[in-house]
Amino acid sequence: MSIDFRLFSPSVLQVYPTDDYSIYLYFNDGTVRHFDVKPYIKEGTVFAPLKDIRIFKEKITIINETVAWDLVGNRDEYQCIDLDPIELYQSPIVDDPLEDKVN
């Protein structure tokens, strides 16, 4: 099934980072998706600071309905590292990793 992104705008409602540099994303259509951030974390790129797992996990947030890392701490969208919500939405649908932690 192909989604017409002119008619549907995926919004990230919640994000759960892992110790292996991946994230679980909770979208506005009820799906949970898994995205591997590791390939983006390379020296000399905007993503390089995320190599520090503490920064990767503690600075992650949602800004403008997508995943962002607020490295400065002021929620300024122009000073954050973010990912395209459409690219994130095209990640595989997975089971909710937090479901077992709640019960």
Per-residue tens of pLDDT for the chain, all 103 residues: 678 888 889 999 999 999 999 999 999 999 999 999 999 999 999 999 999 999 999 999 999 999 999 999 999 999 999 999 999 999 999 999 998 765 5
Domain tally for the chain? 1
CATH number at residue 79: 3.30.2020
Bridge partners, residue 17, by sequence: 23
* DSSP output for the chain: ----TTT----EEEEEE-TTSEEEEEETTS-EEEEE-GGG--TTSTTGGGGSHHHHHHSEEEETTEEEE-SSSS--GGGSEE--HHHHHTSPB---TTHHHH-
Q: Is residue 3 part of a domain?
A: no
Q: Against a cut of 0.75, is the pTM above it?
A: yes
User: What is the C-alpha separation between 24 and 75, in angstroms, rounded?
Assistant: 21
Tell me whether residue 2 is in a domain: no
Tell me whether residue 62 is in a domain: yes
Q: Could you tell me if residue 85 is inside a domain?
A: yes
